Amino acid sequence: MTRKRASELLGVPRSSTYYERREKKETSEEDERLMAKIDGIHADNPAYGARKIARQLRKDGEDVTRWHVTSLMHEMNIRPCCPLPSLSKPSKRSKRFPYLLKGKKILFPNQVWSTDITYVQIGGHHMYLTAVIDWHSRYIVGWRLSDTMRAEDVVRCVRRAFAEHGTPSVMNSDQGSVFGSDVYVSLLASNRVTQSMYGRARWRDNVLMERWFRTLKSEWLRTHEYSTPKELGRLVAEFVGYYNDARIHQSLGYDTPASWYYAGINERVA
């Protein structure tokens, strides 16, 4: 029986019979190795895009193409920190929102939060870290490790941050499909949080989150050993505590994020 005749008997368009659902392939050991190298190059050279990272990998003896590196960077949710097109692309079904923070003065805690996802190498595999930062104080109000980059994991992270710290007036993110998903958009809407997204080639609009990820990797994860998700989670928890409560910031008058966050909260309550 021909495909055309089978389609007629089933009453479905012939074009749809060409589609075969494929399960997502697990990342190969070779790609995991390359992703670990890409992560290291990106941490040392955050302005490098796929072209320069591919060149650096080839100098190191790797047989890779720019297009393969682009694909791996997309999977890792890595973006060059310079005015280039974002790798975190929305899907056709994801919702988009305008960027609402241009020229806006950030005056108090919980006025604006940002969230993002980063790749973290762990042994021969990888995990994803979602984090949420308060713009006014640089205080990390929430984080979560997961083995996938799903909207549900981001929602769990943000929901817990809401429960522990209240809700911000505005939540900013990139235009990735996770942040345009129904479940994430509904979470913000149900909590009356205004959603903002920075546009393509606008990496500076979420620079606080990008810098925090780089600080975590360069100052902490590179100098500690871990081989299991539990050990990685413990290290991230230790770093968040150190970053919030002990690490001083020049932009905060050499004070800590926790002191700025809670001082601002107490002033608003008073």
pLDDT in tens, 12-54: 555 444 434 344 457 788 887 888 788 778 777 776 778 888 8
Residue 151's identity, in one-letter code, is A
Alpha-helical (H) ranges within the chain are 3-10, 29-44, 50-59, 66-76, 151-165, 182-190, 207-219, 229-245, 257-269
Domain edges within the chain: 26-76, 112-269
- pLDDT one-digit tens code per residue, 201-242: 555 667 889 889 989 998 899 889 999 999 999 999 999 999
The yes/no answer on whether domain 112-269 falls in CATH 3.30.750.24 is no
For the beta carbon of residue 234, count every other beta carbon within 10 angstroms: 13
Quote the pTM value.
0.73
pLDDT tens digit string along 139-181? 999 999 999 889 999 999 999 999 999 999 999 998 888 999 9
Tokens of 26: 């697990």
